[in-house]
């Protein structure tokens, strides 16, 4: 930031005005896009009125899918989308990128958080049958579910 401050201070008045204008334009653009995204989530939420975690849980065969993974995934996605829409009704069929606008970096963070909350390890993810195939919320849940459980470590007293 010191380099930018020096550049800004030592620049001509025209460059300072142009820089200030570009920063202001970027702020306005960001605000408009955030408002548009919030309205999009509100519209989807109105269509899905009354849906809850129960809807997503019924999308899985809970005899073969750990319900802790389903709950952790739902809650972590809720946390991620909270700035746009608190209590957004997530569905298992929602595309992470297209519907929820969750990019690959956020998916990686979600994987770590969901695995930690549900007690699953992220060791040897390359051998997971869902590796490289995470596109929907369902894929995310099934990926974590296919990972081995962490063994409890007992601390000595």
- The count of domains in the chain is 2
Q: Are residues 24 and 65 in the same domain?
A: no
Give the whole-angstrom CA distance, residue 116 versus residue 104.
18
- Cα–Cα dist 44/123, whole Å: 36
Query: What pLDDT does residue 120 have?
Result: 92
Structure tokens at 102: 């969750």
Tell whether 62 and 128 lie within a shared domain. Answer: yes
Confidence of residue 17 (pLDDT cuts 50, 70, 90): confident
| Closest by Cα among 35, 38, 31 to 84 | 38
In a domain, 154, yes or no: no
Mean pLDDT over 78-101 rounds to 88
Please give the residue range of the domain that contains residue 113: 53-146
Is residue 73 a contact partner of residue 140, using CB atoms and an 8 Å limit?
Answer: yes
* pLDDT tens-digit map of 24-60: 999 998 888 888 888 888 888 888 888 888 888 999 9
- Rounded to whole angstroms, the Cα distance separating 108 from 90 reads 18
Residues 103-120, mean pLDDT to the nearest whole number? 92
What pTM, to 2 d.p., does this model score?
A: 0.75
Backbone angles phi, psi at 82, to 5 degrees: -55, -35
156 part of a folded domain = no
Average pLDDT along the chain: 86
* 59/101 Cα distance (integer angstroms): 21
């Amino acid at each position: 930031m010191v380099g930018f401050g020096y550049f800004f201070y030592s620049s001509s008045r025209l460059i300072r005005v142009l820089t200030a204008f570009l920063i202001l334009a970027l702020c306005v653009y960001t605000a408009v896009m955030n408002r548009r995204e919030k309205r999009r989530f509100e519209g989807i939420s109105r269509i899905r009125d009354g849906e809850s975690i129960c809807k997503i849980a019924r999308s899985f065969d809970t005899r073969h899918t750990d319900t802790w993974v389903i709950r952790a995934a739902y809650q972590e996605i809720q946390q991620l989308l909270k700035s746009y829409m608190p209590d957004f009704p997530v569905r298992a069929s929602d595309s992470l990128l297209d519907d929820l606008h969750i990019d690959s970096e956020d998916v990686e963070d979600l994987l770590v958080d969901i695995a930690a909350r549900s007690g699953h390890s992220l060791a040897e993810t390359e051998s997971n049958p869902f590796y490289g195939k995470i596109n929907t919320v369902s894929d995310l849940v099934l990926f974590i579910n296919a990972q081995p459980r962490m063994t409890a470590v007992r601390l000595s007293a």
